[in-house]
Amino acid sequence: MEQVGRLFITGQPEAILCRWEVVGAALQLQERAFEGRTWTLELQRARLSLGGFNEDQIVLQTEGMTFYAGRPELEKPLRALGLMHIHQALGREASRVRHNVRMSYVWAGMLFLLLALSGLFGWWVTDRMVDAAAAMTPVSWDIELGRTCYKSLGFAARENHDPRLVRPLQNLADQLTRPYQDQGLAFEIHLINDPQVNAFALPGGQIIVCTGLLENAEGADELVGVLAHEVQHVVQRHGVRSIYSQLRWQLALTVLVGDSSQLHAQLLSSATFLAGLSYSRDHESEADRQGLALLAQLQWSQQGLLKFFQRLDKQQGEMEKHLKYLSTHPASAERKAALEKMLSPVSAEKSIPLDWSALRSALGRGSQDVSPGRQ
């Protein structure tokens, strides 16, 4: 196989392609061009180093000449000569290359760490921006956003207005939300004909209950447990915070300049995709914790939410295929274990103010009411 390198001669700007061959203690070079000039590079007097893009070239320099050849091809025959200064130079250069490679990994690692820390710091800062934006947002905007989102979901055609179902649900919600009546929220129950075993909350107080939840819940305690959870999504403003979290980088300038009108525009423009968001694990955990605290405050059973999740887990394959809206209650073992730890004893548990049998009976008979619902 022909061995080729590049020869640079002082005073000649372009490299000369040469065939090379080790002869004795010299490198014989022959130009590949038509002229066929030859040179002899005395290795005893040559200075050796490594060069090229990946240090894959051996560089031999003598007075007036510099020759580059591939390291894999030339190194072995050079070592075979037994020239001490060549052997030492190859070892020294190999150590330098290894050191440079190690240092490149060190610098790359430091750069990656710096970028990671910068990203974490940026995320922490924008988390503070989310908190600041929520603080700048009046509750009336939550209500406006929730009603806009409800209309965009197109539930009007499927809303169930049977007073035998809607009134007891609204009465239950009114009592459940009594501790928050001074916060300016507008809690409204919407019952929709949908097989989902679910309920979900929109900002400001719109709570959607699917008939599938009423059909599959085994008692008023399960229903009220789910509703207490959803009430907390509203009270803790998780919907607005979820939107702001998605828009965290756009929020920075808005919060810094204090432009609340721009904030309002950003919030309302997000109403159409709010239902496509999922509450974060932290939001779900907070809604569980605060929901159970609310039930304890009212002295109602706290067991319903846990029982609901336990049954949902057993019937997961059939039920969860329907869970497609906001707050879909992932019934993980971790979450159920957390709920068990959150349960607190209630000294004098009161009965839940709902006639469960009458509600299920009305549900079984179907709705006769076709009056328009509240919007």
What would the two tokens of residue 95 be? 């150590």
CB 146 within 8 A of CB 169: no
Give the separation between CA 109 and CA 259, rounded to whole angstroms: 40
Q: Which two tokens stand for residue 21?
A: 């061959």
**Which residues make Cβ contacts (< 8 Å) with residue 200, sequence separation at least 6?**
207, 208, 230, 233, 325, 326, 327, 328
CB atoms within 10 A of CB 147: 20
Phi-psi region of 184 (alpha: psi -120 to 50; beta: other; left: phi over 0): left
Annotated catalytic residue, options 93, 230, 286, 320: 230
DSSP H helices, 217-355, are 220-235, 238-246, 248-257, 260-269, 271-274, 281-298, 303-314, 316-319, 333-342
Q: 325 — phi, psi (to 5°)? A: -105, 175
- Spell out the alpha helix ranges (H) of 279-332: 281-298, 303-314, 316-319
Is residue 188 flagged as an active site residue? no
Burial bucket for residue 240 (CB in 10 Å: 0-12, 13-18, 19+): buried
223: left (phi over 0), alpha (psi -120 to 50) or beta: alpha
What CA–CA distance (Å, rounded) separates 47 from 88?
A: 11
With b meaning 16 or more CB within 10 Å and e meaning fewer, what string describes 58-87?
bbbebeebbbbbebeebbeebeeeebeebe
What distance in Å separates the CA atoms of residue 115 and residue 196, rounded to the nearest whole number?
44
Token readout for 29 is: 């070079």
The residues carrying an active-site annotation are 230
